[in-house]
Amino acid sequence: MNMATPLLKFTIWLFLSIGAGATMAISGVYLYLAPSLPDAETLKDVDLQTPLRVYTADGLLITEYGEKRRTPITYQEIPPQFIDALLASEDDGFFEHSGIDFKGLARAVFDLVTTGRKKSGGSTITMQVAKNYYLSSEKTFTRKFTEILLALKIEQALSKEEILELYVNKIYLGKRAYGIEAAAQVYYGKSIQELNLAELAMIAGLPQAPSAANPIRSPERAISRRNYVLARMYNLGKISEADFQTNIRKPTTARYHGATSEISAPYVAEMIRQEMVRRYGNKAYTSGYSVYTTINASRQLAANKALQTGLLKYDRDHGYRGPQDNLEQISLSVRSNPVVEEWLAKADPSKDTDWPATLAQWDETLFELGDYGMIEPAVVMSVQPEGGWVYSPGDVRWLPFSGMEWAAPYLSVNSIGSPPESALDVLSVGDLIWLQPSREGLSLAQIPEAEGALVSMNPVNGGIESLVGGFSNSDNQFNRATQAERQPGSSFKPFIYSAALDNGFTTASLINDAPVVFKDASLEGTWRPENYSGKFYGPTRLREALYRSQNLVSIRILKQMGPPAAVRYIKEFGFNPAKMNKDLSLALGASSVTPLDVATGYSVFANGGYKISPFVMQKILSDTGEVLYEANPFIAATPPQTEQDESEESLVISEDTKTDKQAISGDVSDTNPADFTEEQEPVRYAPRIMSPENNYLTVSMMRDVIRRGTGRKALALGRNDLAGKTGTTNDQKDAWFAGFSSDLVATVWIGFDQPSTLGRWASGGTTALPVWIDYMRDAVADSPERPLELPEGIVTVRIDPESGLLASPGQSDAIFEYFKAGTAPTEYARAKSILPYQDEDTNSGTGSVIPEQLF
């Protein structure tokens, strides 16, 4: 007993010394680290890196940009079952401890001392919040001590709910997803509130190894981790045995989902991205900006559908070019086993496929192809004469032969081969093909080689309401609506005719439509222009010449007024004069313009003669909802009389100062958006560049293009307020239709990226106009018609249709025509007896006769 007393004393003093030493060490560490610890209160105001989001005018998400996909949510929005899963996986004592799990830390230290390796960090969720928000990922004792001290401070400053909210919004969960809401969108394409128990457990298991063990990269590891989380939930009494048994048997349905999008407008999104980077640099991707565009969601949907439908039809009419590729099937084989190899030598590979492995390989290929809108990729699994079974991700479907009867082989742009007699003539097992679903069933399709663009805008303020820059942004990011500079052909003629009216011509001016030869050095020698139809019509009134699209009349008009005068007039419509031909080819639309240029110019016709600038960026909001920028475009309207002054010319935008960014923001200055305030900007009235009389006469002639000319197919829309013009360039390399209703301008272009013929049957009226009609049918379905108002300076006169002179008294074929006051003919035509006037248009349309009564 006497011997035990000294030993006991020694032991007690030893532990006291160790405790005192540990206390002194901890105190020293605390005193050393405490001054550098951040204030935990700052977590209440932390700014999470959130991506740039782009919206339509009506608030639908177009896309988001940023290295980190994140959508912060509140604690109340976290599903309770997810909280159970997360705590079961990461920190089941979270609501009980003070930020430190001392048992876990002791276990980690014991593992380190006994094995020399770190098996677990003993980190609580609070400690992970401290690390994620304040510390680096370096594995040092100093950082660990700092993490512990910070966790204690955080627990004192914030509630458990606030800490958990910070954690679920910050944690990295693989595939660029930061936070649980972003992870739900990335892996399942749904909100976290929409996930089932197995999916919630899958996400709750990701923090341990988000890059290596996510369900896309390593589905087997992810399922194993998910089942561990479910087992922990069951052991902790959070779920029943039935729930546990049901959910551990569920396969993973996770696959990569791109940025959440409620409306497809990728070309618009890219325009916004470029402008935001120009304004804010790389902060554009991380500061949580929200950009609202001028895009109208329903009109954008209509534009997507119309352009893709038109391009697919053109492509189908020119034959099938064959499958995009042929993917191999993985055979059932174990090469290390000689018996199996001998058996495989006698087997039929087409019937002995390792389908799970094959489909997994096909899935990977199909997912990488991207979004192509109306068509989707698939792989042929088997073929019969009546059709074929095809595989698209997660689905096996029947493609009937009726859906591929069109697939005669493509031979050239002007010819196709014999139609197929069965599906065996078209498909082979393993073919990577494209499908087009419709209400009629499934059809074979292919990615068109021809491209196109469609852009529509509000003519009153220039807001772009829909824009499609090509068949698919996944295939090619080149924005043909704003970047493709092509010849507009006859769609440019309304500008020539308007210039003519401004230079002494009238709608009844008689121009000879006859063969002509020009010898001009600027035209590279001898030039013999012809009409599209190859016919000549002799003396023709200006109105007839426009709706018949007679080239020779346009050339003679331009020759009489002179190209320089025409360029001076036309540049005010928004065209760059440096890119406009200064010779007679200007009359045939041989200059280089973009579809947006044409739509901008046509807006002047549609709005009554005012010059507006296109824009697509309506406003920019900060992550807190503060308005950083709001567009203040020019408005096509006459200012109130009291506001007019002698400085009105200051509103004119010169071509020298106009830049591409105007199409984005509608701005004419280089003002930083941070300088804008929410104060109401003064209304900016657009300058008038056409007289009301000129505008009325030009638009009335353009309406005749649809009533009786090359745009007659648009009569199918059953509206009386449509006007426009077709355009076809030499050798059918470009097909255009540009036109407008009372409140919407739209331009369509079809062609190849590398200019080549679309084929002998292609033209503006047959290739581009149907796309315009399909778009306008949906886009203006709910828009009321507005009559063309007759200005005070216009008079109506009965004239002789052949001479353009005043009609003789009692003349049976006389027609009514409009003139600017003081320009109507004063001479009478010779008295005659003639049959009623017949329209001789041969370019397009149904051939029906519409009386030329203009009111």
CATH code of residue 435: 2.40.50.140
Q: Are residues 160 and 84 in the same domain?
A: yes
Segment 457-462 mean pLDDT: 97
160-170 vs 125-134: helix crossing angle, rounded to 10: 60
Domain count across the chain: 5
Model confidence at 712: pLDDT above 90: yes
CA distance 175 to 161: 27
Task: Say if CB 428 and CB 327 are below 8 A apart.
Answer: no
In a domain, 564, yes or no: yes
In a domain, 668, yes or no: yes
Q: Are residues 430 and 325 in the same domain?
A: yes
Query: Residue 831: what pLDDT?
Result: 73
pLDDT, tens only, 27-51? 444 444 444 455 555 555 555 667 8
Clarify whether 490 is annotated catalytic: yes
In a domain, 465, yes or no: no
548 SS3 class: helix
CA distance 514 to 313: 37
Clarify whether 756 is annotated catalytic: no
CA distance 59 to 55: 5
**φ, ψ for residue 571 (rounded to 5)?**
-60, -25
Tell me the residue range of the domain where 399 lies: 321-332+351-445
Q: Are residues 516 and 556 in the same domain?
A: yes
Q: Are residues 169 and 234 in the same domain?
A: yes
In a domain, 739, yes or no: no
In a domain, 342, yes or no: no
Segment 659-682 mean pLDDT: 53
CA distance 721 to 111: 82
Catalytic residue among 490, 591, 700, 844: 490
CATH number at residue 224: 1.10.3810.10
72 closest CA partner among 46, 41, 90, 111: 46
pLDDT, tens only, 112-154? 445 555 555 557 887 777 776 554 455 555 555 566 767 777 7
Q: Are residues 544 and 629 in the same domain?
A: no
Q: Are residues 134 and 230 in the same domain?
A: yes
Q: Are residues 439 and 573 in the same domain?
A: no
pLDDT, tens only, 80-106? 999 999 998 888 888 888 767 656 555
Query: Residue 319: what pLDDT?
Result: 95
Entry pTM: 0.78
Work out the pLDDT band at 351, boundaries 50, 70, 90. low
Structure tokens at 644: 């007019």
In a domain, 673, yes or no: yes
Q: Are residues 127 and 191 in the same domain?
A: yes
Q: Are residues 525 and 574 in the same domain?
A: yes
Q: Are residues 525 and 660 in the same domain?
A: no
Mean pLDDT of the chain: 82
Angle at the Cα of 764 (from 758 to 768), degrees rounded to 5?
85
221 closest CA partner among 232, 235, 236, 211: 211
pLDDT, tens only, 150-164? 777 777 778 888 888
CA distance 298 to 295: 9
Higher-pLDDT residue of 632 and 329 is 632
Segment 213-220 mean pLDDT: 84
512 SS3 class: strand
Model confidence at 334: pLDDT above 50: no
Domain endpoint, select from 248, 270, 303 = 248
What proportion of the chain, given as a percentage, has pLDDT over 70?
Answer: 77
Backbone region of residue 213 per phi and psi (left: phi > 0; alpha: psi in -120 to 50; beta: other values):
alpha
Catalytic residue among 64, 90, 181, 451: 90
Count of alpha carbons within 13 angstroms of residue 705, beta-carbon side: 31
Domain endpoint, select from 184, 215, 248 = 248
Helix (H) or strand (E) holding 749: strand 745-751
Query: Residue 626: what pLDDT?
Result: 94
CATH number at residue 543: 3.40.710.10
Backbone region of residue 350 per phi and psi (left: phi > 0; alpha: psi in -120 to 50; beta: other values):
alpha
Domain endpoint, select from 411, 427, 445 = 445
In a domain, 808, yes or no: yes
In a domain, 454, yes or no: no
Q: Are residues 155 and 37 in the same domain?
A: yes
Q: Are residues 148 and 227 in the same domain?
A: yes
Higher-pLDDT residue of 456 and 361 is 456
**Structural Rg of the chain based on CA atoms:** 36
361 burial via Cβ count (<10 Å: 0-12, 13-18, 19+): middle
429-433, 438-442, 577-581 — which is least confidently predicted?
438-442
